[in-house]
Structure 1
Amino acid sequence: MSAPKVTPMVRQYLSIKAEHPDSILFFRMGDFYEMFFEDAEKASKALDITLTSRNKNDPDPVPMCGVPHHSANGYVARLVEQGFKVAICDQVQDPSEAKGLVERKVVQVVTPGMQLDGRYLDASQNNFVCAAVTGRGGVGLAFLDISTGAFLVTQVTTPESAFQEILRMGPKELVLPEKFEENARAAAAMRMADQLPTSRLEGKDFENARTRDRLLEHFKTRSLEGFGIQDLPLAVRAAGALLHYVQQAQRQEITHVTKIQAYFQDQFLWIDDNSARNLELLKNIRNGTRQGALISVLDKTVTAMGARLMSYLLRYPLIDPQVINLRLDAVEQAKDLARVRDEVREALKEVHDLERLRSRTALGHANGRDLAAMGESLKQLPRLWALLKENFESPLLCGEATDDGLTDVADLIDRSIREDAPPGVRDGGMIKPGFNEELDEVAALATDVKGLIAGLEAQEKERTGISTLKVRYNKVFGYYIEISKNQTKSIPPHYVRKQTLVNAERYITDELKEFETKVLGAEERRVALEYNIFTQIVDRINGENDRLEKASHLIAWVDVLAALGHVADHNGYCRPVVDMGQTLDLQESRHPVVEKMLPGQRFVPNNIAMNNLDQQILMITGPNMAGKSTVLRQAALCVIMAQMGSFVPAEKAVVGVVDKIFTRVGALDNLSQGESTFMVEMQETANILNNVSHRSLVILDEIGRGTSTFDGLSIAWAVAEYLHDYKDHGVKTMFATHYHELTDLTKTHPRVKNFNIAVNEWNDEIIFLHSLVEGGTNKSYGIQVARLAGIPASVIRRSKQVLQTIEDSEEARVAYSAKASGKSGKKDVQVQMSLFPTPGELAAQALERMDINVMTPLEAMNVLSELQQRVKRPEKAPADVTAETEDQE
């Protein structure tokens, strides 16, 4: 395409676009936002709107499309949702005052991590943008949610930890230095850049001095010690760069971000992304929604602030028993005081999203409806605070914020803002009558012009005694007084003749011209005055930002704790004993989600007891569909619930604090990375073995199923031994398996205990009891399960025949037993495994079990041939025998 004809408007557009090459530029022209050139082509396709062109008759017409300015937010949100950045370029000059082109400039850049319109945000999740920087000592991370003002930073030692932390916090956008990839330590974190919209900043924006000074200037402090980040140089660099990025996008200071909070991974129960997904904490595996996830059971909050906090607490359970028990105290009070709790929740239902309303107000994006919602919310505080102070003792439920009802702010909004305020702030109709005397007068002029004219006319008639006097208006003379010619002798001396007609004379007066000035500009003055009054109200509210932040914070906590009390009360949960012991004891425990998905059915509870002394590894066998996976997951979920401060679904629970939870449950191919199911399974297992501690809880639901039987069994056996012997203390592990040979580990490893999921057999059918009972089992009931799944009867019959043949002809009954002598370190570790049965014994066993009544002659000949070969050459593998046969031929 040749260069477009450079008109002054095009030159202005290109100049502004050059400053935002990575954004779609919304260029305000009158009542529309227009997009041109490549932006128009991208936007028209993404928004499914018409692509047209300027100067259609030109050899190279300029592609363009547009959207109405009053509905632009929806279009912007749709583009941002698809990963685009949008630069909003507004007219910042009144067209009537412009001499030539109207002045325009970008007033805001909207990105996936900087969306402010609550209609297009998930109310139950924070909307973080994340900055990451590497350096000596690890990786610095900063997370900022401009929609709530939350600003968090941390510093981790490895890129892998950084990658996991980014996944756990779930930002919508990533900000990186330009040369981030050049640092080899950043390789793992860069994987996230492939999945998230990513922006780049110059390296200088991440420099130590520059970022530190930027934070000091923003928070108006002399040091960063008060925030606890002075010794986290990489976190400071990430935070300063991120603050700069957000300020540049918003084109203003972000004054509602009043603090920065440091946190450390070792303060929380570590749940990597794979485990969180397997345990379905925030969304289910099937379709990614909340339904069927743990959050759907626990999140009975009634405010958006509470919902966001609940999600955060679920992903960041604690490891400090003192703080955990402080939360449990509050939940217990909420559970026991049901009537008061319900009153509190009713009051909370009237509270809007104060956090995001506060942010929108601070950034100048609030409208009259936002302030009305804020006022309605603040009206609930005196009643809510009184309920808390009068009934609860927990500091989490009645903090110092309950001393401030914000009645002055609520009263200001109540007196000033109309409940039915329009969505726009420059259209008028926001301010209540009686709040501002000048506005009332201007509004009266704008809304009752006819009445005022009639009143003025009656006044002049009475004053002059001229009955034919009329007050009229036209575009040429404006307002005038018209008197018929036969009464002109009675006109007062201050009347000034303006026009002579055939039958009348027209006059003006100073008073009439003053009236005209008031009336003709009344509507414009009313709208402008309303906007000025509105901004003054907003400024007064922003002056109370800290008070609003404290109230929002307490409301979120009260909502979460009341919700957890409500859930515990209605679901029959118990308060767990949480301490620094090594015991996990869940009596009559239930799966919190599954029990809710069995309407009209009773969930079968189970006892789960583990410790590091004599019952450290639970080796769980049993058929598919019996409930092994459910038992494994419910143990992990109960631990997570207890350590986040929730009651748990059990009759009694003792939870010795767990520092990490790992799960290896199922596996999917990662074909795009050239990784098979088995490779993914082994990577997950390696991650567990390389990162566990003696305080971890490991959930293994099958290991080694993606390779040959003996390979898989060998790996599973070795993994179990490793976890049993880990640094002499071992790791609490629940290990579900179909390798029944693993039950022999109890003979040589004293802290391994065998359990199975009980079933009853009746008339060649199985009845699942779903009970976890002591002892192993060597039956898988796979064919019976296949029949329950609807496999045709002929296939079932044939399966039984094949199974018998395989059992008779294969070395499937190899019994493994292993005994480790000596200790780790310089001493050798000797492992002795039980010998295979002799070839003769195998042949005799196979022949004894053969049922010739169901075998075809060909099958019988094949089995006999194979047995004969194995007796002759027991040391040879099948492949070796085949090779020799080919050589002889």
Structure 2
Amino acid sequence: MLDQYRRIKAKHRDEILFFRLGDFYEMFNEDAKEASAILGLTLTKRQGLPMCGIPYHAAKTYIARLLKAGKKIAICEQKSLSNKRGLLDREVVEVITPGTALEDDYLEQGTNNYLADICIIDQRLCFAYLDVSTGEFRAFSLTSNKEMITETIRAELYRLAPREILVQQSILDQPKFYQVIRECSAIIEAQPDWVYDLVHSLDLLKKKFGVVSLKGFGFEDNAPEIAAAGNLLEYVQEMIRQDCPHIRALLPYEEREFVLLDEATKRNLELMRNLSDSSKRDTLIEVIDKTKTAGGARLLRQWLFQPLRIREKIEARLEAISFLYHNQILLADIRKLLYGILDIERLISRLAVDKAHARDLRAIRDSIDLGLDLFTLIESAKAPLELGPRMSMEQIDACRQVIDIIEKTILDDPSILLTEGNLIRDGYDKELDNLRNLHKNTQGILEDYLKDEKRQTGIQNLRIRYNKIIGYYIEVTKGNIANVPSHFVRRQSLVGGERYTTDRLAELESKINGAQERIIEIEKNVFLKTRDSLKQFIPALLECASEISRIDCLASLAQTATEQGFTKPLITEDEDIEIVNGRHPVVEICLPYGDFVPNSIALSRKNNWFVLITGPNMAGKSTVLRQTALIVLLAHMGSFVPAESAKIGLVDKIFCRVGAQDNLARGESTFLVEMHETAFILNTATEKSLVIMDEVGRGTGTLDGVSIAWAVSEYLTSRISCRTLFATHYHELTTMAIPGIRNMRMVAIEQDGNISFPKRLEDGASSGSYGIHVAKLAGLPKEVVIRASQVESHFNALEQGLKEEKPKKDSTPSLELFSNEDIVIETLRNIDPDNITPIKALQILSELVEILKQ
């Protein structure tokens, strides 16, 4: 047996092999050591080999834990007897990986479980991704320069969040690419370059979908992304050992149809995960996700990460949401129906690969039935086209056939296991009905038979008995032996009488003894035939599931608008953004009702397309920046927005550089992370983009920081001319005399030495950052606050060129924070002699002399 194990294990070196022995899965050697550590199993030995095991019936629980740990599991099952010694044939029937899992026990509800493939073909970065549990299969390629390719990979992996990634070996061989891929919390599978064969992949995909060309799916036959898609499909089929009929098409991901959101923007806006603990708490998705179905929840996340750029599509969603918003009874009825619908896509995926049990079929039947009721309800309400179902009559009829087949065949509350019976309805199979009748009415059948024999023989004291040795028999007393008919066959002689059997009694005994076994066999066969017959309807069922998910998303956004007081935005092509009394959708619900202070913002391509926001710490600059980005994003998503009114000119990209943290894994400081994000924006933004930037340059010296912030502002305003909100503490920037810049500030009210921040935005430049006041509010020691005020006064005098005395030193000896010589040296060090005019040089020289005189 161990030799057999070694032969099988040699073919599955990268997986933990679950080796079936009776009612257990056993693991040996390194597999046992690894599994026991993860699962907390007791490690024992067999013939000197480390081993551990788990019960067969509890395997799913353990497999789920191994998948969560990033492991792959090969399931080796017992087959028929292979030789006279009784050694069972065994073979691997399935390999379960984090990216190919199908069972609900292994999947997170409401979240896609993507398997991704990355390669570079013909200087194009190619992506393919597949959710085996739903059948969604897409591919695309991008032209990226070498400087931007790492950010492109990072952005796509953040969008997809795959559980498993297949990566071309030559990509992994490049440290910068390997590093960015490692940042994704997925297992990485290196693929040799030769597997990305375009011709082989094209043939594989055409055969899979039964077509002569992929042009019908939106791909040229020489599209490089086909290589990634073909390798991905081949990997899945090898793991699952199935053709996967629920994977119906390879679809393109049309990047130009969606607003680009880079990884930093998604992170900084806290769309799906917050910045504090990476959970869903206090995120945008938590606010807007009112979906009732798992498919709807998955689709809503896609909508959030893929805002629309096409005005007509956005307005179609808005029209549907508006209809529901103004028809609250209909909205409530829709959500009530949605509540009872299970995860149809994943149920169908299990049906497609022969993993669906009888309760799965009942769940499909009940959910599709509710779905058709949902469609009828919406059609009767004369809803907009975007809200109504887009299925053909043929597809509707196919769904009805599925409902009818399952209803006629499967019990309302069937067993899960095929070996238990209790699957098929009475009246479906005549033999099954007879056997069930026999099994349930054994005593009555025997009594009816006995009555017949009594009538024919005239012996009224005949008795039918049973024992384990001879089975059923007829007992005849000695006084009636002479009347025994010829068809009675003697089985046993006793002192008080004889025991007989008959051909009919033997037939009844055989039926009774084999009835339960035969019942299970018939039910299994009927179930398997029914399940196979349903596969032809998979395309229609998936279309139905897709429509239900879309309706669920629209209902979710309508419910959010109702609960949170969102309004319908006006979408325009003129690139102006006008938000009246906008609110941050997440911050607002975290505060007591009415406490959030709304603010208005206007960005016009005609004059004020760059708004420079200054103001104190704690005054709410970052909130205003983020809420503007979120309102624009929600509008492009086709959602109502948190504002009194909003006119949103279409954007092609949204960038949000707000705050920064160091990244030790990448070996990057906070300032370097900030500069990377800034560089990506400056190299990628267009005049149609929306850019949100907060505190650019704050992670370095003051002079460097001001210079960087100034240059970045000039570049965004003059070179790119994109709509920009730019918050800063560098008040020097408010003096920039560049067309398109509008100064705004967060209000601060100072009274009796105290300061308050009403969180209100108004025109004008702030007079200061009030950092020392905030430090006082934070509880810094009074001595530190006083000393900070003294130092601030000194530097203000230097900055204004005033010849004032230095701040008085403390009574205790201390060093000055900066000497005048340090300031002069720092200024000289940052001068570029090749890029300075004579007049500017004389001006700087005069200022430095004045500083040294002090």
Normalising by structure 1, we get a TM-score of: 0.88
For 1:781 and 1:35, the matched residues in 2 are separated by 65
Amino acid at match of 2:511: K
Secondary structure of the structure 1 residue equivalent to 2:507: helix
- 8 Å contact from structure 2 (residues 371, 548) kept in 1: no
Extract unaligned runs of 5+ from structure 1.
Answer: 1-8, 56-60, 815-836, 879-889
Matched, 1:478 2:471: yes
Amino acid at match of 1:29: L
Match for residue 554 of structure 1?
Answer: 547
Provide the alpha-carbon RMSD of the alignment: 2.6
Check 1:526–1:179 CA distance in 2 against 1; reply closer, same or farther (3 A cut). Answer: farther
- 8 Å contact from structure 2 (residues 342, 363) kept in 1: yes
Matched, 1:375 2:386: no
Q: Quick one: higher RCO (CA 8 Å, sep 6+), 1 or 2? A: 2
- 8 Å contact from structure 1 (residues 277, 284) kept in 2: yes
1:444-473 deviation per Cα after TM superposition (whole angstroms, max 9, x unaligned): 333443443344334433433333423233
Q: 1:759 aligns with which of 748, 752, 768?
A: 748
Match for residue 542 of structure 1?
Answer: 535
For 1:431 and 1:241, the matched residues in 2 are separated by 41
- 8 Å contact from structure 1 (residues 24, 85) kept in 2: yes
Q: 2:19 aligns with which of 8, 27, 35?
A: 27
Q: Using the aligned pairs only, state the percent identity.
A: 39
Match for residue 609 of structure 2?
Answer: 616
The 5 Å alignment of 1:440-519 reads 440-519=433-512
The 5 Å alignment of 1:247-646 reads 247-401=237-391, 403=393, 404=396, 406-646=399-639
* Superposition deviation, residue 802 in structure 1: 3.0
Extract unaligned runs of 5+ from structure 2.
Answer: 831-854
* Superposition deviation, residue 116 in structure 1: 1.2
Amino acid at match of 2:166: V
Q: 2:130 aligns with which of 137, 141, 144?
A: 144
* Superposition deviation, residue 47 in structure 1: 0.8
Matched, 1:736 2:715: no
Match for residue 785 of structure 1?
Answer: 774
Match for residue 157 of structure 2?
Answer: 166
Secondary structure of the structure 1 residue equivalent to 2:665: helix
Q: 2:41 aligns with which of 38, 41, 49?
A: 49
For 1:537 and 1:518, the matched residues in 2 are separated by 26
User: How many equivalent pairs are there?
Assistant: 822
1:585-630 deviation per Cα after TM superposition (whole angstroms, max 9, x unaligned): 1111111111111123332111110123311221111112111111
Matched, 1:207 2:197: yes
Secondary structure of the structure 2 residue equivalent to 1:460: helix
For 2:827 and 2:432, the matched residues in 1 are separated by 102
* Superposition deviation, residue 264 in structure 1: 2.6
Q: 1:113 aligns with which of 94, 99, 105?
A: 99
Matched, 1:176 2:182: no
Secondary structure of the structure 1 residue equivalent to 2:585: coil
Secondary structure of the structure 1 residue equivalent to 2:738: coil
For 2:7 and 2:133, the matched residues in 1 are separated by 30
Check 1:323–1:232 CA distance in 2 against 1; reply closer, same or farther (3 A cut). Answer: farther
Matched, 1:36 2:28: yes
- 8 Å contact from structure 2 (residues 610, 723) kept in 1: yes
Secondary structure of the structure 2 residue equivalent to 1:845: coil
Which is further off, 302-311 or 464-473?
A: 464-473
For 1:873 and 1:148, the matched residues in 2 are separated by 64
Match for residue 117 of structure 2?
Answer: 131
Matched, 1:717 2:675: no
* Superposition deviation, residue 179 in structure 1: 4.6
Which is further off, 415-424 or 588-597?
A: 415-424
* Superposition deviation, residue 204 in structure 1: 4.3
* Superposition deviation, residue 440 in structure 1: 2.0
For 2:785 and 2:221, the matched residues in 1 are separated by 66
Check 1:673–1:863 CA distance in 2 against 1; reply closer, same or farther (3 A cut). Answer: closer
1:346-373 deviation per Cα after TM superposition (whole angstroms, max 9, x unaligned): 1111111111111111111111221111
Match for residue 237 of structure 1?
Answer: 227
* Superposition deviation, residue 281 in structure 1: 0.6
Secondary structure of the structure 2 residue equivalent to 1:720: helix
Secondary structure of the structure 2 residue equivalent to 1:210: helix
Secondary structure of the structure 1 residue equivalent to 2:758: strand
- 8 Å contact from structure 1 (residues 168, 273) kept in 2: yes
- 8 Å contact from structure 2 (residues 82, 88) kept in 1: no
Secondary structure of the structure 1 residue equivalent to 2:551: helix
- 8 Å contact from structure 1 (residues 324, 644) kept in 2: yes
Amino acid at match of 1:433: D
For 1:676 and 1:871, the matched residues in 2 are separated by 25
- 8 Å contact from structure 1 (residues 134, 186) kept in 2: no
Match for residue 833 of structure 1?
Answer: none
Secondary structure of the structure 1 residue equivalent to 2:388: coil
1:315-366 deviation per Cα after TM superposition (whole angstroms, max 9, x unaligned): 0001111211121121111211211121111111111111111111111111
Match for residue 70 of structure 2?
Answer: 83
For 1:873 and 1:41, the matched residues in 2 are separated by 63
For 1:482 and 1:10, the matched residues in 2 are separated by 55
- 8 Å contact from structure 2 (residues 171, 178) kept in 1: no
* Superposition deviation, residue 872 in structure 1: 12
Match for residue 830 of structure 1?
Answer: none
Amino acid at match of 2:61: G
1:805-849 deviation per Cα after TM superposition (whole angstroms, max 9, x unaligned): 3431577626xxxxxxxxxxxxxxxxxxxxxx3xxx4xx2345xx
Amino acid at match of 2:765: G
Match for residue 750 of structure 1?
Answer: 739
* Superposition deviation, residue 77 in structure 1: 0.9
Normalising by structure 2, we get a TM-score of: 0.91
Match for residue 811 of structure 2?
Answer: 856
Check 1:536–1:732 CA distance in 2 against 1; reply closer, same or farther (3 A cut). Answer: same
Matched, 1:845 2:832: no
- 8 Å contact from structure 1 (residues 333, 392) kept in 2: no
Check 1:775–1:556 CA distance in 2 against 1; reply closer, same or farther (3 A cut). Answer: same
- 8 Å contact from structure 1 (residues 142, 238) kept in 2: yes
Amino acid at match of 1:567: T
For 2:353 and 2:818, the matched residues in 1 are separated by 84
* Superposition deviation, residue 863 in structure 1: 6.8
1:745-794 deviation per Cα after TM superposition (whole angstroms, max 9, x unaligned): 1xx212111111112122222222111111111222223222333x15xx
- 8 Å contact from structure 1 (residues 401, 550) kept in 2: yes
For 2:191 and 2:299, the matched residues in 1 are separated by 31
Which is further off, 63-72 or 253-262?
A: 63-72
For 1:391 and 1:53, the matched residues in 2 are separated by 69
Amino acid at match of 2:811: T
- 8 Å contact from structure 1 (residues 396, 557) kept in 2: no
Matched, 1:771 2:764: no
Amino acid at match of 1:226: G
- 8 Å contact from structure 2 (residues 161, 184) kept in 1: no
Q: 1:678 aligns with which of 671, 678, 685?
A: 671
Secondary structure of the structure 1 residue equivalent to 2:336: helix
Check 1:180–1:779 CA distance in 2 against 1; reply closer, same or farther (3 A cut). Answer: closer
Match for residue 847 of structure 2?
Answer: none
Amino acid at match of 1:284: N
Amino acid at match of 2:20: R
* Superposition deviation, residue 297 in structure 1: 1.2
For 1:778 and 1:673, the matched residues in 2 are separated by 39
Q: 1:66 aligns with which of 21, 43, 53?
A: 53
For 1:531 and 1:780, the matched residues in 2 are separated by 76
* Superposition deviation, residue 873 in structure 1: 11
1:489-536 deviation per Cα after TM superposition (whole angstroms, max 9, x unaligned): 121111111222333322222112211221222222111211111111
* Superposition deviation, residue 10 in structure 1: 1.5
